[in-house]
C-alpha cells in the first residue's frame, strides 16, 4: 500500500493534524501543524513506542504548540509543528520507513520542516531527505542540532545561576543532569568543565557509568532524583518530569534543562515559585537546536546561528528581571512575550 495522508480532527487552536501511513514501509506517523502565523511550521520528528494512537496525538500536539512558542521566542520567522513516528526506534526503524516519512513531509508542500528529535538521528534524516526538500539537521549542512541545544542550555544555566546564587560561577555547585543522551551528555561535559559537582541519572546504565568514569560524576538511580539535595536540576530526558508531587520534593533552587514540556501541567510553575525554585522555561532555554536548524532552512551563516544562540541567554536575563520586578512566574512572563509576538503579522527572519 502506498503512503496515505488523512486529515484528523484538529484540536481547537491548531491548524492541522495529519495521520501518515505506509504499511509496506511500516510507517505510522502523526504530523501536527500548530501555527504558521510567523512562517512555515518547524519542529523535530520523534520516534517513540506510544501505547496508543491517542497517546501519540497527545504528545505531538503538546510538542507542536511548544514549537510555536519556542520558534517565536527565538525570533526565527518560523511557526510551530512536530511529527511523531509510532514505534520502537531501536527495533522498528528502517531506511524505507524514514523515506516514507520524507514523502509525507514533502506532501505537505513546505508548510512543515522536519529535523531530529528523540529516537531520530542525522542518518535517519538523510534517508527522509532523499524524498523531501524539507528535512534539515543533515550531516554536511547544519548537522546534529543537539550540541547547539546543549550550549544554549548551558549559557542559560549560567544566567540563572547569576540570578539565584549571585554569580555565574558553577564551581562547587551540585548540578544533577537527568538523561545522558545527545543533549544531556554534552551539557554534563560543560557543567563538569565549569567545576560543578556533577550528578547524573539515566535509565541506561552504560551512559551513567561512562559519565561517572569520564566526568567524575556521582550517579543517582532514576527513581531517586527527587530524594537528592542539589543546587541545579537539569532535566534532559523526557517531558512531564515536574508534577505537583515531584515539584514539592525537588531539592534544587534552579531548574534549567533541555527536555521539552518539563512541567506536567502549567500550575506546577506556581508550586515551584512558591518553594523559591527558579524555573527557566524549557522552550526558551532549549532553542539552540532549532536555531541551528533554522539557519539551514533560511540559508543563514554560522555567524547568524551564533548570534541567535547568544540572544537566548539575553532573553532569559530579561525574563528573570521582569519576573522579579512583577512577581509573576517566569512561565507567565515568557508566554506573555510570545503571545504578543504572535499577534504580529508575518515577517521575514
What minimum distance in Å lies between the beta carbon of 42 and ligand NAD? 12
CB nearer to ligand NAD: give 107 or 264.
Answer: 264
Q: Which is nearer to ligand NAD, 40 or 289 (CB)?
A: 289
Q: How far is the CB of 284 from ligand NAD (least distance, A)?
A: 11
Any binding-site annotation on 63? no
Residue nearest to ligand NAD (CB): 181
Which cell is 88 given? 520502537
Q: Which of 70, 82, 93, 173 is catalytic?
A: 82
Shortest spacing between CB 258 and ligand NAD, in angstroms: 4
Selection from 293, 287, 285, 258 nearest residue 42 by Cα: 293
Q: Is 182 annotated as a binding residue?
A: yes
Q: Quick count: other Cβ atoms within 10 Å of Cβ 220? A: 19
Supply the DSSP string of 114-134, one letter for each residue.
B-B-TT--HHHHHHHHTT-S-
The conformation of residue 222, written as its DSSP 8-state character, comes to G
H-helix or E-strand spanning residue 312: helix 302-326
Output 101 or 283, the one with its CB closest to ligand NAD.
Answer: 283
Question: What residues make contact with ligand NAD under the rule CB under 6 A?
Answer: 117-118, 145-146, 149, 178-184, 201-204, 207, 222, 236-239, 258-260, 286, 289
Residue 180 labelled as part of a binding site = yes
Would you say 110 is a known binding-site residue? no
Yes or no: say if 188 and 232 are a contact pair by the CB < 8 Å rule.
no
190 in catalytic set: no
Distance (Å, whole) CA 197 – CA 311: 27
- Measure Cα distances from 240 to 21, 169, 245, 248, 301 in Å: 28, 29, 12, 14, 35
CB of 161 to ligand NAD, least distance (A): 20
Nearer to ligand NAD, 203 or 244 (CB): 203
Nearest to 31 by CA among 22, 39, 23, 41: 41
Active site residues: 82
Q: Which positions make up the binding site for NAD(+)?
A: 179-184
Q: Which positions make up the binding site?
A: 179-184
Amino acid at each position: 500500500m502506498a503512503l496515505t495522508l488523512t486529515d484528523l480532527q484538529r484540536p481547537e487552536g491548531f491548524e492541522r493534524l495529519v495521520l501518515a501511513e505506509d504499511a509496506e514501509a511500516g510507517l505510522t506517523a502523526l504530523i501536527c501543524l500548530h501555527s504558521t502565523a510567523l512562517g512555515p511550521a518547524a519542529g523535530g520528528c520523534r520516534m517513540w513506542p506510544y501505547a496508543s494512537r491517542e497517546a501519540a496525538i497527545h504528545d505531538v500536539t503538546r510538542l507542536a504548540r511548544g514549537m510555536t512558542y519556542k520558534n517565536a521566542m527565538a525570533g526565527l520567522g518560523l511557526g510551530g509543528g512536530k511529527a511523531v513516528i509510532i514505534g520502537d526506534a531501536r527495533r522498528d526503524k528502517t531506511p524505507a520507513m524514514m523515506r516514507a516519512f520524507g514523502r509525507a513531509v514533502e506532501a505537505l508542500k513546505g508548510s512543515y520542516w522536519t529535523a531530529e528529535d528523540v529516537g531520530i538521528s542525522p542518518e535517519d534524516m538523510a534517508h527522509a531527505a532523499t524524498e523531501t526538500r524539507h528535512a534539515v539537521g543533515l550531516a554536511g549542512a547544519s548537522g546534529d542540532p543537539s550540541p547547539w541545544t546543549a550550549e544554549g542550555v548551558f549559557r542559560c544555566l549560567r544566567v540563572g545561576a547569576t540570578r539565584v546564587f549571585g554569580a555565574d560561577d558553577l564551581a562547587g555547585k551540585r548540578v544533577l543532569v537527568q538523561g545522558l543522551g545527545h543533549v544531556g551528555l554534552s551539557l554534563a561535559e560543560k557543567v563538569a568543565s565549569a567545576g560543578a559537582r556533577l550528578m547524573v541519572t539515566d535509565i541506561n546504565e552504560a551512559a551513567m557509568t561512562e559519565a561517572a568514569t569520564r566526568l567524575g560524576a556521582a550517579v543517582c538511580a532514576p527513581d531517586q532524583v527527587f530524594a537528592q539535595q542539589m543546587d541545579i536540576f537539569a532535566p534532559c530526558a523526557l517531558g512531564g518530569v515536574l508534577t505537583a508531587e515531584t515539584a514539592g520534593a525537588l531539592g534544587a533552587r534552579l531548574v534549567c534543562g533541555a527536555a521539552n514540556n518539563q512541567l506536567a501541567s502549567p500550575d506546577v510553575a506556581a508550586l515551584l515559585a512558591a518553594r523559591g525554585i527558579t524555573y527557566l522555561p524549557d522552550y526558551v532555554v532549549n532553542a539552540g537546536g532549532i536555531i541551528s536548524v533554522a539557519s539551514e532552512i533560511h540559508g543563514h551563516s554560522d555567524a547568524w546561528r551564533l548570534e541567535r544562540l547568544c540572544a537566548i541567554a539575553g532573553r532569559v536575563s530579561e525574563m528573570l528581571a521582569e519576573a522579579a520586578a512583577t512577581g509573576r512566574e517566569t512561565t507567565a512572563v515568557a508566554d506573555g512575550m510570545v503571545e504578543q509576538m504572535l499577534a504580529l503579522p508575518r515577517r521575514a527572519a
